[in-house]
Structure 1
């Protein structure tokens, strides 16, 4: 059986409970209350029951508290996987989009998400789904701009007549029907 760990001498139970009340991290607050119980003389098993965990976890908290103080009891997050797109690759992608496509060279008249995904995989070895590429492209400030479709039976002369019938009344700014 290993040697019992002692808590730091520069803190006491009342101080830890005060810190537990003022912290914004619920996990840190729960850990501080458990360690305050140990300062009051409770066993590690009793502190573990108080915190809703087991003795080994409380021992880990004691080690973290002894080395880093109360800040060592804040939840630690691993941070997730490293980003697949580095800033240099992102810059190359933005440059590619800004250049636009040349039909004779690239084989497309405009960049589609699948074309950008294929280019990114070929040039940089990064595989992304179209939905992920869409989020990246939109985050970088690019938008898909297309011309509005025109109806095949559209009559420009009828549009001019329609526009001429509705002229803004300059005094009130309210549309007024004008008869020609």
Structure 2
């Protein structure tokens, strides 16, 4: 063990007690959005896209990035928008694939007549 490490531990213990010896995560970079902008993003996601203005049916990260640039003047990467949405508690939803030519009756017959796995 290095002498400086031991010295740092002693100083942390003297100033904060046992809780001072626990490793703490660094604070990290500040968010690029202010609290008002985050509330605006939440309202934007909850309201959904406007057909005439946004020209999309559902939000994608690229669409939200463009809209944030229009509304707030923020230039963000799509991945950053995804991280913001994740931090705000939103998850990506996708529609399950569906073939319009499927026959529900044939599916039920198949389920009843096929051997169990």
Q: TM-score, structure 1 length as denominator?
A: 0.46
Q: Deviations over 1:80-113 (max 9, x none)?
A: 6543211111111011001111323321111111
Answering whether residue 81 of structure 2 is matched by residue 133 of structure 1, we say: yes
* Aligned structure 1 segments of 4 or more residues deviating by more than 3 angstroms: 78-82, 163-166
Unaligned segments of structure 1, at least 5 residues: 1-24, 33-64, 72-77, 167-175
Structure 1 residues 91-130: aligned runs within 5 Å:
91-130=39-78
| Number of equivalent positions | 102
**Hey, what does 2:7 align to over in structure 1?**
29
Q: 2:33 aligns with which of 85, 95, 111?
A: 85
Unaligned segments of structure 2, at least 5 residues: 16-25
Computed over aligned residues only, the root mean square deviation of the Cα atoms, in angstroms, reads: 3.2
SS in 1 for 2:68: helix
- Distance (whole Å) between structure 1 residues aligned to residue 112 and residue 51 of structure 2: 41
Structure 1 residues 142-161: aligned runs within 5 Å:
142-151=90-99, 153-161=101-109
- Distance (whole Å) between structure 2 residues aligned to residue 143 and residue 29 of structure 1: 45
Larger radius of gyration: 1
Q: TM-score, structure 2 length as denominator?
A: 0.68
